[in-house]
Amino acid sequence: MPAIVPLLQADDAVRIAHVRAPRWISHPAAGAAHDAMRLLLERPPSLRPRGLLLAGPYHNGKTMIAERFAVEHLRVADQQKVWVIQTREGAGLSHFYASILSGLRAPQAAGWRSLSRVGDQVDHLLERLKPRLLIFDEFHSALRGRRQDVKAIFSFLRRIARVHDISPVLVGEIAIYDAVHDTDEMGSRFDTIPIPRWAYDEEFATLLDSTGSQSAARRSLRSVARTLGEDPPRSVRGADRRGCRDRHPGRSCGNLAR
């Protein structure tokens, strides 16, 4: 393939870096999340823009899904419209504002203890940058305060949606779904894409088969599957046997998936 020629002619450091680079292998849940965020990004202006929840168990790939969407957007966009905010630990608007300022790569406002001044700075930045999506990763970190603190954060999210036409994307554990749907006022504004744990099922079989001859990726996926403690479905066993036959013609591959 012509595209591979420059890589083959490169020095060892470049080729090693290419081999070690992360690879994106899509999955139905990831594809659904990206489709939903793309619809929000491309929507027309609205007085009541909708938001999105990406909710699932911890350590389950939610951050990677969100960051992948943001990176792909940057590759093709003339102006950045998607920003990822790492929600800080801590209760109240002050910590939430600090997360936004950090995510927008802005300095802290003078007179940090004045919430009104920090709020003005955040509004000024949003007006200048004009983001369409703000992705709040680890949003459950903002839910560990008092009830009035959480209500203030939700009020802020509703206001930036109305004033700045921003669709908030909240990424986190299952608790964010319960908190948002605690009231109809917030729950009616958000759609939800669940990001479930991996299961040794037909979708996993399709993903395994899509890796083709990438044996390292296949071994990694199969090791994840084995930790689930389930018997492989027939299509998974078939994917393993097909991959074996591709790599070792003539070998008996009947028991590889067991």
Crossing angle for the helix pair 115-129 and 147-164, to the nearest 10 degrees: 30
Reported as a single tens digit per residue, the pLDDT across 72-128 is 999 999 999 999 999 988 778 888 999 999 999 987 655 556 888 888 999 999 999
Q: What parts of the chain have a pLDDT lower than 50?
A: 213, 235-236, 239-240, 243-244, 247-248, 251-252, 254-258
Q: What is the pLDDT of residue 197?
A: 82
| 19 phi, psi to nearest 5 deg | -65, -40
Residues 255 and 108: their CA atoms lie apart, in Å, by 60
CA distances (Å), origin 126, targets 102, 110, 121, 131, 244:
13, 18, 9, 7, 53
DSSP, collapsed to helix, strand or coil, labels residue 4 as helix
